[in-house]
Every structure is written in structure tokens, then in C-alpha cells.
Chains A and B, each alone.
Chain A
Amino acid sequence: MTAPARALTVSESATVHTVLAVPGMHCAGCMGKVERALAALDGVTSARTNLTARTVEVVHQSEIETPALVAALAAIGFDAQPREIEAEPVSAVKPLLAPLGVAAFACMNVMLMSVSVWSGAEGTTRSLFHWVSALIGVPAIAYAGRPFFASAWKVLRHGKTNMDVPISIGVTIATGLSFYETLSGGAEAWFDGVLMLLMFLLAGRVLDAMMRDRARSGVDALLRQVATGAMVVAADGTTRWLDTKSLQPGMLMRVAAGERLAADGEVLRGQTRLDQSLLTGESAPVQAGPGTLVHAGTLNVDAPVDVRVTAIGQDTALSEIARLMEAAGQSRSKYVRIADRAARLYAPAVHTLAGLTFAGWMLAGAGWYQSLVIAIAVLIITCPCALGLAVPVAQVVAAGALLKKGLLVKDGSALERMAEVDRLLLDKTGTLTLGRPVPDDVALDALSAPQASVALALASHSRHPLSLGLVQALSARGIPAAILEDVREEPGQGVTARWNGLSVALGRPASAQGMATALRIEGDPVRVIPFADRLRPDTTEALVWLEALGVESSILSGDSVTAVAAVSHATGLTAQAAASPADKQEAIQRLQNAGRKVMMAGDGLNDGPALAAAHASIAPGSASDVGRQAADMVFTADSLLAIPRAIRVSRQTMRVVRQNFVLAIGYNMLAVPLAILGHVTPLIAAIAMSTSSLIVVANSLRLAGEAK
């Protein structure tokens, strides 16, 4: 094709797919709004939202640019970012769905044959049914059993064992025996039992994977809320937005007030204060001027500054923390999950039992063939069908209940470790406290209604942290914003405007003591609103609850001794202050060496190594990327009650898991004597298997209402 013709097709009718992340979308109403707003644009063919991934896929003409789509969503109040293709998460559920489908199909059809055999089909009819069963069953077992065979082979090669080893052995031997029976025209084939077993086990795996997928997409949605990038000023004075990955040393970043630095650098122009609490835990902002070295992740509080990038990515101050975290995560990866611990005891026990049965029948004078068939019946009846469901069903139900309370559980192992915790270390800034300035209630009460609405209107024009705090507090009180004219924000000074002909301003108070802002309205006295970082709501209640759970708590903070002492006094907790990331990790190590199971609650980059080293960890949704990724659970609500709730639900979950084990094994116990005596038929195996699975599922569902 010639070049002009190709250019023509592109400009006329090329449709492109764009995927946007919309983290704020969480209900049917949002989905409808997003889809309608995008579809209303000229040149958009279709827009389809995905609520699970919090994304929208837009099919549109190529002349519409991505920023236009983002702007359309911004107009209806949704933040959106183009989704990077390589960031597409791999679903853990998808590879298991096809084996589950095959197992379910084959199980149903083979069961159809089996029912006829059980009801008395004989001779050639029975033989025909067995052959049809084998024809469906053998390929289906080979396909649907692959996830188990692969996992069993992997651990066996390293000389270990897990739940998949007895499953694989049972499945293989039972299939082999059934095939032999079919060939020799025997009376009993077990294809239906094997397929049912695989179906139940795969259902358990799918549930487990669903929980991980759901938590990960939740965390991904939180991560995408943070714009990672910087406004870069070129040599000719033009500015453009670059994402973090495209930043290069030597570039000049212009960092507005309220923005986080995307890279390490040196301040070139401007005077400001920087909030380094995510990095160091220190709550008081530090002064920065020309020549000050600044770090990625710090928040610019006061005024815009120009920063020369000195280091990016691996070279930043963060790499030190990343190195500590890598070392810290190793102890946790050694944790053996409860199902595998159970398998360590269970697998040798059932294999010994089957071996003894075989030996017993041989001694009793039965033939090779009969002894082998009975031994295999023992293996099949003890195959851990309900055991495969015992853990995932309980954990999925609990994770679902916690999600409704704003707690994201990363995976099932998190619930298992969280249940064992008996010691809690809390970071101060951002974890025990909200980590953001909150205006004083008394000062807000003192404002008249018009004053408050002017303050809200002024604050809404600024991205300064104090303004954001003021907007949040006043909006929560249901105050409407006044209508202003001539709004202007002067960096470092505040916002000025005209309201009903009067000049109004929100800015730095004349005598700055701590954090405060001053509201000036022409003709009125100046109103000073003090700000402070407050304790999270329900802190006292949460600490009482933790004590009732037998968890000893204390503060582990990187902030200065005086700042920590104030919070320590308010909460009655002992505290360690001025701890570096390595100190925090060491404190946890010391406690764990003394036999305590330590839980870490923290949000900052400086908490990363501690979060990774602790037996279990939790981070608030406002935490740094590092904190959220290192933690086992993330809580999105402000209330500190999330922490005791997480521990209590985890313990309840493990109680139900243990009950499930007892129920599942107990059921097997009843059937095992029958099997050893040689009375178990495929019919009895099928009934035992499905009933014990149903009981386990029903018992787990009791957890649904537990996360109160």
C-alpha cells in the first residue's frame, strides 16, 4: 500500500483502544456515569467499564487524544490515568478456570454412567459404560490434574512434601486401577470419584486465587491514585509533565505546593518547608532552600521550588530501604501454611495405613489383586478432598467479610500469620495518627456560617496540605462554598479573592506558631485556625480491644522524642522514638528472637523493612507505595479499630479452619474402617466425598457475618 493511502485511513477511521484506570469507581452508579460521559464524546465508539480492575476500556477514533478522555472524566468528578500496558496484572484465577470447567463437565457425565452402573447395569452394558467413562475420564484427569501434578513434582524434587503429593498419588493410582478394571471387564471403576475430587480441589484453588486477585486489584487501585511524575522545566522555559520513569539526572523539576517529589535532587530556587514524615517518620516539616538536598517521596508543604534531579530509581535514598526490605522478607517466606503443615502429618499417615492394609490382606491370604484393590480404596477414601476446601473456603469468606469493613487481605497466609500475633508495634505518624493536618474543632465552631463558607471556598483553590485538611473538615460539616471572584493563589502566602465586594484571604498567620492558617475578611477580625496531626478516631477503644485480645502494644517511631512523648502520653503506650529503618527492623528481630509473634502497623517508607520483617503487618490506605506493598493487609477507613478487627477475624478464621480439619478428617475416619475391611464401593466414596465437602463449606460460611 502506498504511503498517502495509509495516511488517509489513519486520519479518517482508525479506531484505537485506550484503557484508563479509574480508581474512584466503585458502584453501578459510577459505572453508568463513566460509560455515559465517555460515550457522549464525539468519536468515541464505545466505553466499557471493568469494576473488578477499576478500569474503563474506550474504543475511539485516533484523533481523540487520551487527555480529552481524562478531562471528560474529570468533569464528572472521576480521576483517571492511562493504564500502562506492561502493568497489566496476571490473574491467578484464569489459568484455573479451564481445568475446573473440564473437571466439572467430565465429572457430571461420568457420574451419569456411574449411576447406571450402581443401579445394576451388568455385562456388556456395564463394560460399555466403563469404556465411555474412561474415554472421558482419562484425558480429563490428565488435563484437570495438571496444577496438582506440577506442584507435587516441584516439591518432591526438593525432597519435601505438600498437600498436592498425596492428591497426585491418589489420583494417579485410582485412575490406573480404574483403567485396568475397564480393560479386564471388572466390576468397579473410580473415574467419577477421581473427577469429583479434582473438581472440589480446583474449586478450592479458584477461591484462594480469587481472594488474592481481589486484594491485588484493590491495592493496585490505591497505587494508581498517586500521580508519580514531575513537571519538568526545559532550558527554553517550557514545561511538560514527565512520569517518574522518564526523569533523568540533570533535569529541572518544578514542584508545586502539595506535591510529592518524584526523584532525589537539590533545591535550586525557592524557599519552602518539606514534610518528610513518609521517609523518616518525623512529623515537623523541615526548612529547605537553595542548596538543600531533598529526597523522593517528601511532600512540598509551602511554596513551589525548582529542584535539579540528582538521582533516580535505583540510586535514590530509597534503594537503601529496598535493600533492607529484601533481607527482611526472607524470614516470612519460610512460613509454612497450615494446609501444608497438615499435609506433612497427613500424607505419611494415610500412605502407611494403605501399606499396612495391603500387608494385612496379603497375610490374611488374599491375592495380590484383591489386596491391591482394597489398599487403593483406602487411599481414595482418605484423599484430602474436604481438606482441600477446609482452608480456602474459610479464608475467602473471612476476607470477603473484612473487605466490606474496608480491610484488604493480600492472601490467605496473611490471615494465618495474623492469627498468631501477640505483640503489636505501631508507627506514630500516619498510623496511630492520621498523618495529615486536621483543623481544630473549637476554632471551626467559632466561625460564623458565612465565614466558614468563605474559608471553604478559599481553601478549595489551593493544594496546600492545610487547605486540603480545611476543605475536608468543612465539607464534612455540610458547609456550602461561597461564590468568590478574582481568586488568586500566591505561592507561600495563601489565597486571596473578592467576596460580595470585600477582599478576603486565607494565608499564613502573622505570628506562626506550629501549624495554623489565618482567615482574613475585610471588616472582620482575623481568625486563626490552628492545625494538628490528630490521633485516629477510636484509638482508645482499639487499644482496649487489643488488650482484651491479649496483644501487647507499643509505639515504634522515627519521630523526635518530644513529638512521640506527646502521643505516648495521650495513648498510655510505651514508646521508642527516633528509630531509623534499621533500628525498627532490629527491634522486631529482638522481639521475635525472644519468641514473640510481632505485628507491625506502619505507613512510611521507613517502615518498609519493619513491615516486611514482622510476622504479620498492616498499613493504612494512605501509606506510601512501599508500605502498602510490604504489608499483609491494608485498611482504607480512618478508624484504628481496623487493627484489632483484623486480628480477631483472623483468629476466628483459624478456629473455623481447625474445625474444618476435624470435620473432614473425622468423616474420613468413619469411612476408613470400611475401606480397610474392603467394603467401600465407588458409590460410598462418592457420597462420603461430597457430604464432607458440603459440611466444610457450610461451616466456613458462618464467618460471613463475623467482621463486626
Chain B
Amino acid sequence: MNGVAFMLPIALGMGLLGLVAFFWSLKRGQFSDLDGAAARILIEDEEREP
């Protein structure tokens, strides 16, 4: 029972952290351009100097 009292808040807190992170990213527009996010990794930085 002691273990439960200890683990339960941790488990819930971690889950809640995930939910908050999801809402934060939703608000910051991270889901507004899913196609672009997929393509962005392929953009070449041609003009980068060595």
C-alpha cells in the first residue's frame, strides 16, 4: 500500500506531463503543417559555409 501511495502520483504526474506537453504543442501550432514537417527534413542547406 505504501508503494502504491508513492507510485500512483508519479504515474499520474507523468501522464499529466504528457498531456500538458501535447496541449502546449497544439497551441504552438506544431500540428498545423504535418505535410511540411515531414518534408522539412529533406530541405538542403545549400548556402551553408564550411
Q: Is the interface of B mostly helix, strand, loop or mixed?
A: helix
Residue B49 at the chain A interface, CB threshold 8 Å: no
* B1 neighbours in A (Cβ, 8 Å): 124-125
Per the bound structure, the CA–CA distance linking A401 and B34 in Å amounts to 17
Per the bound structure, the CA–CA distance linking A112 and B16 in Å amounts to 14
Contact B36 A31 (CB under 8 A): yes
Residue A101 at the chain B interface, CB threshold 8 Å: yes
Of B18, B22, B39, B40, most A-chain CB atoms within 10 Å:
B39
* A101 neighbours in B (Cβ, 8 Å): 19, 22-23, 26
Residue A253 at the chain B interface, CB threshold 8 Å: no
Residue A132 at the chain B interface, CB threshold 8 Å: yes
* B22 neighbours in A (Cβ, 8 Å): 101, 105
Q: How many residues of A contact B (CB 8 A)?
A: 28
Per the bound structure, the CA–CA distance linking A97 and B43 in Å amounts to 28
* A35 neighbours in B (Cβ, 8 Å): 43
Q: Which of A50-58, A421-429, A577-585 contacts the other chain?
A: A50-58
Residue A109 at the chain B interface, CB threshold 8 Å: yes
Contact B39 A105 (CB under 8 A): no
Residue A366 at the chain B interface, CB threshold 8 Å: no
Per the bound structure, the CA–CA distance linking A451 and B28 in Å amounts to 57
Among residues of B, the one whose C-beta sits closest to the C-beta of A53 is B33
Least CB distance from A375 to B in Å reads 33
Of B18, B34, B35, most A-chain CB atoms within 10 Å:
B35
Residue A102 at the chain B interface, CB threshold 8 Å: yes
Per the bound structure, the CA–CA distance linking A52 and B39 in Å amounts to 10
Query: Which of A36-60 touch B at CB < 8 Å?
Result: 36, 49-53
Query: Which of B14-37 touch A at CB < 8 Å?
Result: 15-16, 18-19, 22-23, 26, 31-36
* A132 neighbours in B (Cβ, 8 Å): 8, 12
Among residues of A, the one whose C-beta sits closest to the C-beta of B11 is A112
Contact A52 B34 (CB under 8 A): yes
Per the bound structure, the CA–CA distance linking A93 and B29 in Å amounts to 13
Per the bound structure, the CA–CA distance linking A93 and B34 in Å amounts to 12
Contact B4 A50 (CB under 8 A): no
Per the bound structure, the CA–CA distance linking A29 and B43 in Å amounts to 6
* B4 neighbours in A (Cβ, 8 Å): 125, 128
Least CB distance from A216 to B in Å reads 14
Least CB distance from B38 to A in Å reads 8
Residue A363 at the chain B interface, CB threshold 8 Å: no
- With A31-B43, A98-B26 as known contacts, state yes or no: A105 contacts B19, CB within 8 Å: yes
Residue A108 at the chain B interface, CB threshold 8 Å: yes
- With A31-B43, A32-B44 as known contacts, state yes or no: A102 contacts B19, CB within 8 Å: yes
Per the bound structure, the CA–CA distance linking A53 and B29 in Å amounts to 13
Residue A28 at the chain B interface, CB threshold 8 Å: yes
Contact B18 A105 (CB under 8 A): yes
Per the bound structure, the CA–CA distance linking A97 and B22 in Å amounts to 10
Among residues of A, the one whose C-beta sits closest to the C-beta of B1 is A125
Least CB distance from B35 to A in Å reads 4
Of A28, A36, A108, A112, most B-chain CB atoms within 10 Å:
A28
Among residues of B, the one whose C-beta sits closest to the C-beta of A116 is B4
Contact B35 A27 (CB under 8 A): no
Of A53, A91, A101, A108, most B-chain CB atoms within 10 Å:
A101
Contact A52 B36 (CB under 8 A): yes
Query: Which of A109-139 touch B at CB < 8 Å?
Result: 109, 112, 124-125, 128, 132, 136
- Residues of chain A touching chain B, judged by Cβ–Cβ distance below 8 Å, are 27-29, 31-32, 35-36, 49-53, 91, 93-94, 97-98, 101-102, 105, 108-109, 112, 124-125, 128, 132, 136
In the assembled complex, 27 residue pairs joining A and B whose CB atoms fall closer than 8 Å, in A order, are A27-B42, A28-B39, A28-B40, A28-B42, A28-B43, A29-B43, A29-B44, A31-B39, A32-B44, A36-B47, A51-B33, A51-B35, A51-B36, A51-B39, A52-B34, A52-B35, A94-B26, A94-B31, A97-B31, A102-B19, A105-B15, A105-B18, A108-B15, A109-B15, A112-B11, A125-B1, A132-B8
A51-B35, A53-B33, A124-B1 given; name 12 further pairs at CB < 8 Å: A27-B42, A28-B41, A50-B32, A53-B32, A97-B26, A97-B31, A98-B23, A101-B26, A109-B12, A109-B15, A112-B11, A132-B8
